[in-house]
Amino acid sequence: MNIELVGLDQQDYLNINQKNKKGAPMIRKEKLAELDKLINLYRTVSQSSVQIEPVNEGFIKIGTANYTLASGKVLLDRKEIIKRDGLSSASIILPITETGEVVLIVQPRPLTKTGVGVELPAGYKDLLPDNKSVEEGKITALRELSEETGYQAKEIIPLGGYYQDQGCSRAYNECFLALDCVYKGTEDFDEDEQISKFLCSFDEVLELVEQGYINDGGSIITIERAKNILLKNN
């Protein structure tokens, strides 16, 4: 049976890598091979037809589809949605281990061009009991770090925040730097959540941004804001 991949193939990634500036330090080949293996595992190989549900007379739309990954896993009822009232505010965390490595995560992102995300741990802020406000960003950051990577931080530094899309949402993301992280094995994934960890140096993180492996706004903003602190201490 022939299956057409949805997203970029291996040659596309090689083409991206070749765009790296001449003379720049290259990420270790074995680390790229490790990362490419994870990316290939989480590629979308097929998807069901998208079911559209209009909300509020069509002003907001929810699209639902199932996505089959190269690993054989199926992501059920994944939704595209615009969330209102600021309840989609999130925290993004750049974790540094006690040995100085950055903890990235790799997971399926079926709606993107590559179909896979190489990114920093992140997650939405939970709604408080008053059903009007959300929890503090630091609380979200510590929880998501623990649930997505199994690491816990000894120190966490706020790096400011930004609006996701101030033209259509109140959602406000906060960035954090987590230092001296220790692995505690506290991962807690949702039922259909597929996540792997990828550890590398901060210099290699900067190169992954340059090469296009890391391309989500939240991760890039957080990395840039942490750069001055991390490079100053080296």
Task: Tell me, yes or no, whether 17 lies in a domain.
Answer: no
The contacts of residue 111 (CB under 8 Å, 6+ apart) are 80
Task: Tell me, yes or no, whether 35 lies in a domain.
Answer: yes
> What residue numbers bound the domain in which 116 lies?
29-42+83-233
Task: Tell me, yes or no, whether 101 lies in a domain.
Answer: yes
Task: Tell me, yes or no, whether 8 lies in a domain.
Answer: no
Task: Tell me, yes or no, whether 100 lies in a domain.
Answer: yes
Q: What is the pLDDT of residue 142?
A: 97
Tally the domains of the chain.
1
pLDDT at 20 over 50: no
**pLDDT digit string, tens, across residues 73-122:** 998 888 766 554 446 889 999 999 999 999 999 999 999 999 999 999 99
Task: Tell me, yes or no, whether 59 lies in a domain.
Answer: no
CATH of the domain at 147: 3.90.79.10
What 3-state DSSP class applies to 101? coil
Q: Which of 29-33, 40-44, 154-158 has the highest mean pLDDT?
A: 154-158
Task: Tell me, yes or no, whether 4 lies in a domain.
Answer: no
Q: Positive or negative CA dihedral for 130, 133, 137, 143?
A: positive
**pLDDT digit string, tens, across residues 170-225:** 789 999 999 999 999 999 988 888 999 999 999 999 999 999 999 999 999 999 99
Helix, strand and coil in the chain, % to nearest 5: 25, 35, 40
Q: What is the pLDDT of residue 57?
A: 62
